[in-house]
Structure 1
Amino acid sequence: MNISTKLAQMIVTDMKQIINKEINYIDTNGNIIASTNHHRIGLFHGGGKKVVESKADLIIEYDGQFKGTRKGINMPIYFESSIVGVIGITGEREEVEKYGKIIKRMTEILIKEEYIENLKNKQKENHRMIIEEIITNADKNESALLEKVNVFKMNTDASRMVIISEILEMNSNIIEKKEEIYTIFHRIMIKDSDNLIMQNRNSVVLILTEISKSQLLYKMEEISKELKRKYGLQVKFGIGSLENSLVDLKISYEKAKLALDWVKLSSRESIRYYSEMDIELIISNVSEIIAYEFCNKVIGDLEERDVEEYREILQLFEEFNGSIKKISEILFIHKNSLQYKLNRLRDKTGYDMRKYQDFVLLKVAFALKE
């Protein structure tokens, strides 16, 4: 493993702040690739080369003892049992020896952390590439798609579904927390290499292997709670269909988008399964002209503020099977007040939400209104 000069320079600079000594990082060829004394960068360090060969610490007793050396201590740096470089501290032996072990250990930790971070970034980019290939596979060319994703050694036989989430009311302060938000989704949703995640500005696309509805619901609720608690954010989820082939995941993606579009219209729901959509599927294909005419016929006499109020009541009416008691409790109003509102809607529109046929027409009208 080769250590970048950027990482090496960061290490020696940070270590100097701790011990206030000049520090060098020497590669396995004996060249100083980073130093707190910039004049030494690029020079050969004979002591460092000897440390690589002997795999042992080396005390330099005096300047010039080896080519390009100054008195101090030089120690091998390991990553996964292999020497990846040498860290050197310049100074009197009794001063630098006491710092040697801690500086060596801290350097190895920083290198490991950088390696893990690079792996995460590489995985993140790989996931993005695969997801983009899947959702842009317009001609449904399965062989071409498989050829591309096989590079990433995916299990192409697993059944998968697409989930699209959207974080509402993202502002500039929250955008700065993108990485933290990504980490929450990744930690809760991505348990193995067959699950994929891609983050855009305010949305996260997930491709998950088959999972029970109860487990999936639990995970989505966990994400919602954590985003709300940490950042005060609300998130909506649209869940597509389970597909048996990668090429058909484009269909699942389109269904997840449609489900997300509808759940975003709800003030109470945060999760919508495409498989549970009914009237919405028909409405999605209604022309704007017909939608306008139907809305005008059914709820055209309502003022805009009434539309918002009755939309919420309609959603609660459906959720609680028309229970006046439960709906009035949720709205913090008396049962008689709710009955008055329903009567007022009937008088203005001619449709009574308490009648099944009228309820269906009102539901369609309010949905088309959006």
Structure 2
Amino acid sequence: MISNQVIQAAIEDLRAITRIDLCVMETDGSVAASTFDAGNISRDAVMAFVHSPAEGQNLQDCHFFKVHDEEQVEYVLLAKGSGDDAYMIGKVAVSELQNLIVAYKERFDRSNFIQNLLLDNLLLVDIYTQAKKLHIETEAERVVYLVETRGEKDVMALETVRSVFAPRSQDVITAVDQKNIVVVKTLQNPADAENLETIARMLADMLNAEEKDRVRVAYGTTVGQLKDVSRSYKEAKLAMEVGRIFYPDEIVIPYHTLGIGRLIYQLPLPLCEMFMHEVFGENLPETFDEETLTTIEKFFENNLNVSETARQMFVHRNTLVYRLEKLQKTTGLDIRVFEDALTFKIALMVASYMKYLEKNQ
């Protein structure tokens, strides 16, 4: 429900405008938020007021009011002073707190609904019934962003994301596990659909501003029906997982750019092992020295361009050619030739996948 920090901010704003001190107390008499020292307020008096039929009372130089959540007393609000001004501001504060409770409750209900929707825990009829109740459009272009934080329960990251998207009533921000924040974004116009990666990079840059590589962002494809949002979520999850294996340096991973990595991710381990032995025999990639691996990586980065690779590695062209020929003798693959380079690249990706499988068994 509402955090004490939110309540404190609300009553401090009212205090700044009206100069009337306010205090919000739990039903057990403990202080949730206050703009003055409420130490002299009797907890017994608060608890007695909670159980009394009265909605308001004047005690200990304060106006007491009940703040309800539906039919149940949620808080007791105190407005310091016994005059009409304190009474009027107290009633205003009660109204604001009750509106906050409704707003936060609706957000909580939306979050629960979206979590169940993402996890396929709802029947089709329940999706439409609950969406109508929560004022969520069933037909709209949406995409799911998955934000993976480095630490568990990253509350600051969650609040930062909410501060960006929460004002848009159809965007829902939630969390389905300890490390991932989910943004179900409603695309308002065609420009939004064209700028999916821009939005993802904005999220990553904003969250990584204070601490480098704090988060990674993946996203699925757009869907037009609310019932299909879980598909976009599954795509975003797959993109995050595949990106972690094959593209560890990428901060933003779109599902539609996974390419061959998505195919390799679905291969069983025995098939991978057979392929690796067919390509390399006993000379598996983990037996290569660091110089060879760096040479291969740079050569692929420069689209098999010998001269540009040599320039970036600060070596003579002939030195690079010698290293490539040495690799050819070892593996039987000349990666200066496109077909051999393609085989080698796929084999390196399969090797990364096998390491991942072994590590996570």
TM-score relative to the length of structure 1: 0.65
Give, in whole Å, the separation in 1 of the partners of 2:345 and 2:44. 76
Give, in whole Å, the separation in 1 of the partners of 2:77 and 2:219. 49
What is residue 333 of structure 2 aligned with on the other side?
351
SS of equivalent to 1:16 = coil
Matches for 1:75-154 after TM superposition, within 5 Å: 86-88=78-80, 116=100, 119-120=103-104, 122-137=106-121, 142-154=124-136
Cα distance change of structure 1 residues 217 and 16 upon mapping to structure 2, 3 Å threshold = same
Cα distance change of structure 1 residues 249 and 292 upon mapping to structure 2, 3 Å threshold = same
Residues 161, 243 of structure 1: 8 Å contact kept: yes
Residues 134, 249 of structure 1: 8 Å contact kept: yes
Q: Which amino acid aligns with 1:269?
A: E
What is residue 280 of structure 1 aligned with on the other side?
261
Q: Which amino acid aligns with 2:178?
A: R
Cα deviation for residue 263 of structure 1 reads 1.0
Cα distance change of structure 1 residues 112 and 350 upon mapping to structure 2, 3 Å threshold = farther
Give, in whole Å, the separation in 2 of the partners of 1:309 and 1:114. 66
* C-alpha RMSD of the superposition: 4.5
Specify which of 155, 159, 176 is matched with residue 137 of structure 2: 155
Give, in whole Å, the separation in 1 of the partners of 2:89 and 2:28. 15
Residues 311, 366 of structure 1: 8 Å contact kept: no
Matches for 1:261-272 after TM superposition, within 5 Å: 261-265=241-245, 266-272=247-253
Q: Which amino acid aligns with 1:133?
A: L
Cα distance change of structure 1 residues 164 and 39 upon mapping to structure 2, 3 Å threshold = closer
Q: 1:259 and 2:239 equivalent?
A: yes
Length, aligned pairs only: 312
Cα deviation for residue 307 of structure 1 reads 8.4
What is residue 342 of structure 2 aligned with on the other side?
360
Cα deviation for residue 279 of structure 1 reads 2.0
Residues 203, 217 of structure 2: 8 Å contact kept: no
Cα deviation for residue 75 of structure 1 reads 9.1
Give, in whole Å, the separation in 1 of the partners of 2:132 and 2:161. 25
Matches for 1:185-224 after TM superposition, within 5 Å: 185-199=161-175, 200-210=177-187, 212=192, 215-224=195-204
Identity across matched positions, percent: 16
Give, in whole Å, the separation in 1 of the partners of 2:101 and 2:287. 51
Give, in whole Å, the separation in 2 of the partners of 1:135 and 1:6. 36
Specify which of 13, 16, 25 is matched with residue 37 of structure 2: 16
Specify which of 144, 155, 158 is matched with residue 179 of structure 1: 155
Cα distance change of structure 1 residues 241 and 349 upon mapping to structure 2, 3 Å threshold = same
Cα deviation for residue 127 of structure 1 reads 2.0
SS of equivalent to 1:249 = helix
Cα deviation for residue 6 of structure 1 reads 4.8
Cα distance change of structure 1 residues 44 and 252 upon mapping to structure 2, 3 Å threshold = closer
What is residue 304 of structure 1 aligned with on the other side?
286
Cα distance change of structure 1 residues 6 and 187 upon mapping to structure 2, 3 Å threshold = same
Cα deviation for residue 155 of structure 1 reads 0.8
Residues 166, 237 of structure 1: 8 Å contact kept: yes
Give, in whole Å, the separation in 1 of the partners of 2:276 and 2:98. 58
What do residues 200-238 of structure 1 show as CA deviations (whole Å, max 9, x unaligned)? 211122222236466332332233233333234442333
Give, in whole Å, the separation in 2 of the partners of 1:114 and 1:324. 69
Give, in whole Å, the separation in 1 of the partners of 2:211 and 2:92. 34
Cα deviation for residue 251 of structure 1 reads 2.5
Specify which of 42, 62, 70 is matched with residue 37 of structure 1: 42
Give, in whole Å, the separation in 2 of the partners of 1:115 and 1:305. 65
Cα deviation for residue 290 of structure 1 reads 1.3
What do residues 259-291 of structure 1 show as CA deviations (whole Å, max 9, x unaligned)? 222111223222222222332343233232111
Cα distance change of structure 1 residues 202 and 323 upon mapping to structure 2, 3 Å threshold = farther
Specify which of 192, 206, 227 is matched with residue 247 of structure 1: 227
Give, in whole Å, the separation in 2 of the partners of 1:339 and 1:188. 52
Q: 1:235 and 2:215 equivalent?
A: yes
Cα distance change of structure 1 residues 365 and 10 upon mapping to structure 2, 3 Å threshold = same
What do residues 309-328 of structure 1 show as CA deviations (whole Å, max 9, x unaligned)? 77776666555434456656
SS of equivalent to 1:159 = strand
SS of equivalent to 2:344 = helix
Residues 237, 263 of structure 1: 8 Å contact kept: no
- Name the larger-Rg structure: 1
What is residue 26 of structure 2 aligned with on the other side?
5
Give, in whole Å, the separation in 1 of the partners of 2:102 and 2:29. 15
Q: Which amino acid aligns with 1:37?
A: S
Give, in whole Å, the separation in 2 of the partners of 1:167 and 1:312. 29
Cα distance change of structure 1 residues 148 and 125 upon mapping to structure 2, 3 Å threshold = closer
Residues 162, 205 of structure 1: 8 Å contact kept: yes
Give, in whole Å, the separation in 1 of the partners of 2:165 and 2:33. 38
SS of equivalent to 1:244 = strand
Give, in whole Å, the separation in 2 of the partners of 1:239 and 1:306. 35
Give, in whole Å, the separation in 2 of the partners of 1:257 and 1:119. 30
